[in-house]
A and B are shown apart, each in its own frame.
Chain A
Amino acid sequence: MRRALLIAGLVALAVPATASAHATLRSTTPHFGTELQSSPRTIRLHFDQQVRLLPGAVVVLNGVGRNFAGPSRVEGTDVVAVVRPLKLGAYTVRWHAISADSHVVSGVWTFGVRVPAPSVNDAYGAGGPTVQEHIVRWLWFLGLAVAIGTLGFRLICLRGVEVPQRLDRRLAVAAGIGVVAALEAGIAGFSLRAEDALQLPFGRYLYGDLSPMAATRFGQAFVIMTLGYALVLALIFLAWLLDRTVFLVPAFVLALALVSGFSLSGHDAVDAGSSSLSELADWVHIGAASLWIGGLVALVALTWYGAPELRGVAFRRFSELATVCIFLVLGAGIYLSVVRLPHLHDLWTTGYGRVLIVKVGLVCVALAWGAFHKFVIAPALARGASSGFLARVGRSLAGEALVGVAVLLVAAVLVDSRPPAQPAPPPAAAARP
């Protein structure tokens, strides 16, 4: 063994050393997402090593795809492209180069000339959200709902109740699965956005530079949420391992605090009419919906069949929690609809409005079902019920939970849709003499 170690060490020392395998872009001029006051004469990309050029190594595209970049040249570890004079507008830079290791590395970024630079997600050539992105965002909502709903259900609905250890552990496992699903969906969502912005085949996308993407608001949300939910996962694990519910409290608070990260990196933060109030409303809307739908899943999937002795108290307390959540969901949802839809007819004349109608329809079904449970089933349970009746209640709760899951799917499509444009502000009053 000693000899093997010695040989391995010598081999490692004997082989020549180089820097990281492929070229890494260190900086650019102009920088990612800057607003310039005049047209740049050149575009400069600074790498950590020398690269070779491909035909069309750097292109500078305007909003209709016209290229303003001339031929590129290599200056040391920089690539420089001459740019024809650019008029006012937003521009996309796409670049490709061959590393010293012969691999093609690529990237994209945006800048503006006397206008704010668009997000790299809106770079020229990017196609916008796809069906895959809707599905990934749905899985992300589902993961968050299961995590937050299960944690909330355990801490709020089962507070002060003698909870069987078996149920306690199952709830922690379900919350953990929800967090893992949210983490995986987050990575998939970020990758889909990056792939759309880079517009590269998969083989080259793997070596694509994602730094401009990570610098966007969406990218920052991805970073914060991934780190936050990794911590939530660790806390849930500790609660499961040590049978200490106290670890679930910071996990719940952190999960709830970060719930609207991706949403806040979208329309609520950047579209006209957005404000800190609309951001707060968005957080309340998603947080309350997650607690409601995820809590319902925890009630029916884990408690109703897993701990029949807790059915009565869990049903009654969840009913109270759901009532509060529904008021919050409706209040915040109505406010956001008013903010995002400037005219009533936008509801049926725009794609965003039509998706919203479908969502409102499904929410109405879920509300009616929930009201049936609250006003008909809860009193019947209080009077005592037969086993056949209880089995039917379980199926009915599962039905309501499925409608909730469908609401999340439509919400995923809605979040990816662009709301109609806000009316132009009235012209400024003429300056007084």
Chain B
Amino acid sequence: MQPRAEMVHWLFATGLLLLGLCLLSEVVVGPEVWRRRRWRTYLWPGLAFAMGVLMWPVMTFFTNSAIHMYAHGSWAEVLMLAGGAELGLVHGRLKSRWWRLTMPLAFVVTGTAFIVHEQNAWFFARSAFLHHLLGWTFLIAAVIPLALAFRPRSATAQTAFALVFVVLAVMLYSDRDTAPVFGHLSPLAGPQHR
């Protein structure tokens, strides 16, 4: 009944990719064109919020270790918080720009959870390597939404913000061993799945 772990990784990687592509589209066509249809402004914050809601089943169904449960739980909460705050700002319900700080906060929490829940060193395996890489990318990239909180019109920061999500999506797609395109190389990993 439970979907395989890599499928869940791919699902959320797709979410991150869509999120990055929305942001990138806005950068490419410019905010004036992008916001000509009001619903477009809700796209990426709504997607982030929905990903937060969808992370709750992951937390409750993947309980093979306590630390995974806490990591998934923290992602669910910060995704809902950051997505919700952005939706509030877009809709005009929230006025203060300080609410934009929820996004860098989400990046920091997500990055920390990635690093803490990975028990192995960087070069133990590809999944370990990518978990560390994802964690540090989130932590370092937190400066981009932080910069956007204070300079929301900066084209450089907007572009970097969009690209970070695309890069993170690629990393998350590559994170599991059973993706056939990446093979199955380590003898420690047990029998091949396919």
Contact = CB atoms under 8 A, between A and B. Distances in A.
A2 to B, nearest CB: 10
Interface residues of A, number: 52
Interface in A1-47: 1, 5, 8-9, 11-13, 15-22, 24-25, 47
Interface stretch (A234-242, A276-284, A365-373, A398-406): A234-242
B93 A49 contact: no
A5 B167 contact: yes
A414 interface: no
A162 interface: no
A98 to B, nearest CB: 12
Contacts of A222: 60
A203 B50 CA distance: 33
Interface string A273-303: 0000000000000000000000000000000
B91 A241 contact: yes
A117 interface: no
A24 B67 CA distance: 13
Contacts of B130: 12, 15
Residue from B63, B80, B185 with most neighbouring chain A CB atoms (10 Å):
B63
Residue from A5, A16, A187 with most neighbouring chain B CB atoms (10 Å):
A16
B190 A77 contact: yes
A48 B127 CA distance: 16
A242 B92 CA distance: 10
Interface residues of B, number: 53
Interface stretch (A63-71, A145-153, A223-231, A421-429): A223-231
A50 B59 contact: no
B124 to A, nearest CB: 6
Interface in B152-168: 163, 167
Interface stretch (B29-37, B97-105, B107-115, B176-184): B176-184
B66 A21 contact: no
B129 A15 contact: yes
A184 B63 CA distance: 16
B39 interface: no
Nearest to A224: B60
B128 interface: yes
Nearest to A77: B190
Interface in A147-181: 180
B65 A210 contact: yes
A254 to B, nearest CB: 14
A57 B93 CA distance: 57
A213 B64 CA distance: 10
Residue from B126, B177, B178 with most neighbouring chain A CB atoms (10 Å):
B126
Contact of A211 (B63, B126, B183, B191): B63
Given A19-B189, A230-B53, A230-B76, A24 B64 contact: yes
Contacts of A247: none
Contact of B167 (A8, A206, A211, A237): A8
B67 A207 contact: yes
A80 interface: no
Contact of B120 (A49, A101, A240): A101
Contacts of B65: 22, 24, 105, 206-210
B119 interface: yes
Given A9-B170, A209-B65, A15 B123 contact: yes
Given A101-B119, A209-B65, A21 B127 contact: yes
B15 interface: no
Nearest to A176: B84
Contacts of B185: 16-18
Contact of A17 (B63, B77, B186): B186
B56 A21 contact: no
A194 interface: yes
A160 B110 CA distance: 43
Given A9-B170, A100-B188, A187-B69, 11 more contacts: A5-B170, A11-B129, A12-B130, A17-B185, A21-B124, A25-B64, A49-B189, A77-B190, A77-B191, A211-B63, A219-B63
22 contacts: A8-B133, A11-B129, A16-B186, A17-B177, A17-B182, A17-B183, A19-B190, A21-B124, A22-B119, A24-B64, A77-B190, A77-B191, A180-B77, A205-B66, A206-B65, A207-B67, A210-B65, A210-B66, A223-B61, A230-B56, A241-B88, A241-B93
